[in-house]
Structures are given as C-alpha cells and as structure tokens.
A = this chain, B = another copy of it.
Amino acid sequence: MQNFDFYNPTRIIFGRGQTNRVGEVTKAYGKRVLLLYGRGSVKRIGLFEKVVRSLRQAGVGWIEYGGVRSNPVLGFARKAIDLFRREKLDAIVAVGGGSVIDTAKTVAAGVLYEGDAWDFFCNKAEVEKAVPVIVVLTLAASGSEMNGGGVITNEKTQQKLHLVGEPLFPKASILDPVNTYTAPIDHSMYGAVDAIMHVLEGYFNATDPATPLQDRFVEGLVKTVMENAKIIFYKPNDYEARANIMWCAALALNGLMVSGVAAEGFPMHMIEHSLSALYDIPHGAGLAIVAPSWMRYKSKSDPEKFAQFAKRVFNASDGSMQEKAAKGINSLEKWFLSIGVPVRLSDVDIPASDIKKIAENARMTAKLWGLTGYTVEIIEKILKKAA
C-alpha cells in the first residue's frame, strides 16, 4: 500500500424524508443563502417547494438562481458569483445533481477569490477558502456530494477541467433516494456508469499491486451498481435500488476507493471530458464509449488486474489471462448495452473523422491530469477502437 492522506468531513444525511432537515442544517452556516438549481425539474417534482419550506421554518432566507445545465459552464458560474457578492449571501444550497453541485463549488471558491474562478481549474490558483455548500441531491452519479472536487466547461476555450480543494467538501449532503425517482432513465443509467467508472479508474490505473481491501471494495461496489441499475431500468421507483445506487455513487469518488492505490491518473475521464466538452453528450455516455476501448488498449500490456476483475465480477475463470481480461471487458460492454447506454462514437453521431480533433483537445489537458504519457497518437489509437 502506498502512503496516503484520507480526509472527508462531509456529513451525509441519508434516507426517506431527510429533505426536511435542510433548513436546520443550513442554519448553522448562514442566514441568507444562494439557492442554486438546474433546469426546473426540481420545481416540477415539488422538491424545490419542500426545500424552501424547510429553509423558511428554520428562518433562513434565500435568493433563487436556476438554470444550471448539464455539462455546466463557466459563464453561468461567473454570473452566480456576481449575484452572490451583490446580495452579500452566506452560503449555497445546491439542489440537483453533479452539474449543480460543481457549479456551487465553483461559486463557493470564486466569491472569496480576487481573480477569475477559471484560475482554479488551470492550476493557476489553489482553493484556500470557500463559502459553505449544502447539497440536496437529485441524481446518483458524480459523487460530488461527498468530495472536494468539481468539473466545469469553459465554453470559450472548449476545455472541461476540474478544481479541487478541502474547503469545497459540502458541509452536509442530503441523500433521499426518493428525490431520484423522477430522474430520466437514460440519465439514471449514465449515473450508474459514472459511479462504476470512478472506481474502475483507480482500480485499473493503480500503481500499487498490493491493495486487497480496496480491490474488494471496488469489486463489491461495481457488482452492487450493476444489480441495482438493472432494477431501476425496469422499475424506476424501487426505493432499495435507488438507495443502493445512491450510496454507491457517493462512496465511489469520496477518496476511499483510491486510498493507498496511487492511481496514475484518470485517463478514461480525461478522454471523455473532451467528448462532452466538444459534443455536449452526457458524461456517463461518453465514459461508456471510452471505457471498453481504453480497457482493451490497457489490458494488452497489463492484463492481470483485468483478469482479476473478470473473475471476481463476472465469474470468468477459464482461459489465459488475456482471454479472461477480454471476457471481463466484453461482459462490461454487454452490460452497458443492456441498460441502453451507447458504446461507440457512432452511437452518438460523432464521426470517425473527428477523432484527431478530439485527441488534440484531450492532449491539451493531459498535463493538468498528470497524464503526459498520453500522446495524441495514443489517444487516437484508443478512440479508433471506439469508432
């Protein structure tokens, strides 16, 4: 096991009916908050009304700011920063999925920083402080509800990058599985893919081969997500399935799964970010396209962990190590297809002729991802397998 620091101070408030606690929780952090949300679905399902009722009962005031889109953009966050400062607010309540939470984090750091918030994403500035963020989650996917990171697209430069910092951990995140019932099925499935890919990045990119506990946690989490996504696919209002996926997604990227494994980076995410930055496809869809191809590329030279994955998750016990590895990757790809998720660029109408452009976009961010070994040629090679 490699040396590591683990720190995760987010309070998770999990379960049915917990939305009613948002007022009481928020009160500890401020009297007036920015109430951030997405495209209005939280109003249609009555969640917004529940949140403001709870805030009102706790004596917390709010300024409403809706309109965060999926693949959230820097321009929107900048406007929210202006609003937060103008109104002299104390904290942010983010009601939504990863896009809303990541925007909230960008705002939370941005309002206390003199320069432009994009500096955090380009490693020009560190997040030294941030105003408190409280989350009411509506989609199990990004894990942003329980970590100190966030992702934003700069719509001018077409770069999708991430910021990170301890002050960005949400103070509290309310995870009521019922709040995810009305998430569209396709996005629920992309969320399941996202959770799986978060843990598999660390698993397959580990530089330390001796992390048996972390391996078993990852394998158990992947199996649990797979079983429960399939239930949701047919029965979106299954409480237990929604609950299991919700807790899996939060734990998938909260630091625990990568503790001690010294992952050499998140290459599938790096390549995917270029897909969603350039074509605005859902992140989970992009991951399902990149993953099998990247795994085939990576397992060529390094099949051992892939064979372990195949054996433990898909019971593949026959054949050589390479054959087992291939079986595991094929099984995962088949599972993606079984829940209606695209696995090829052509499935989302990205032409093979764009591959060079995508690879160049990804290469531009490779240094920030700590993945300078990924040349344009290598990224092209991987994407060609996904054409």
Contacts and interface: CB of A to CB of B under 8 A. Distances in A.
A1 B260 contact: no
A115 interface: no
Interface in A203-232: 210-213, 216-217, 219-221, 223-224, 227-228
Looking at A4, A213, A219, the one whose CB has the most chain B CB atoms below 10 A away is A213
A353 to B, nearest CB: 43
Contacts of A5: 11-14
B6 A260 contact: no
B3 A7 contact: no
Given A212-B244, A213-B247, A220-B217, A14 B4 contact: yes
Given A6-B11, A12-B6, A248-B213, A1 B243 contact: yes
A300 interface: no
A330 interface: no
A18 interface: yes
A2 interface: yes
Contacts of A13: 5
Contacts of A221: 213, 216
A15 interface: yes
A16 interface: yes
A215 B211 CA distance: 19
A216 to B, nearest CB: 3
A116 interface: no
Contact of A224 (B16, B212, B228): B212
A154 interface: no
Contacts of A248: 213
A7 B11 contact: yes
Nearest to A10: B7
A9 B3 CA distance: 19
A280 to B, nearest CB: 32
A7 B254 CA distance: 13
Contacts of A223: 212, 216
Contacts of A331: none
A338 interface: no
Interface string A17-43: 110000000000000000000000000
A8 interface: yes
B213 A220 contact: yes
A260 B245 CA distance: 13
Given A3-B18, A5-B12, A11-B6, A247 B224 contact: no
Given A5-B12, A220-B220, 4 more contacts: A3-B16, A5-B14, A8-B9, A12-B259
20 contacts: A1-B243, A1-B244, A3-B14, A3-B15, A4-B12, A4-B15, A6-B12, A6-B14, A7-B11, A14-B259, A212-B244, A213-B220, A213-B224, A213-B247, A216-B216, A216-B220, A216-B223, A217-B220, A243-B260, A256-B256
Interface of A: 1-18, 177, 210-213, 216-217, 219-221, 223-224, 227-228, 240, 243-244, 247-248, 251, 256, 259-260
Give 6 closest A-B pairs by Cβ, nearest first.
A3-B15, A216-B220, A9-B9, A6-B12, A1-B243, A7-B11
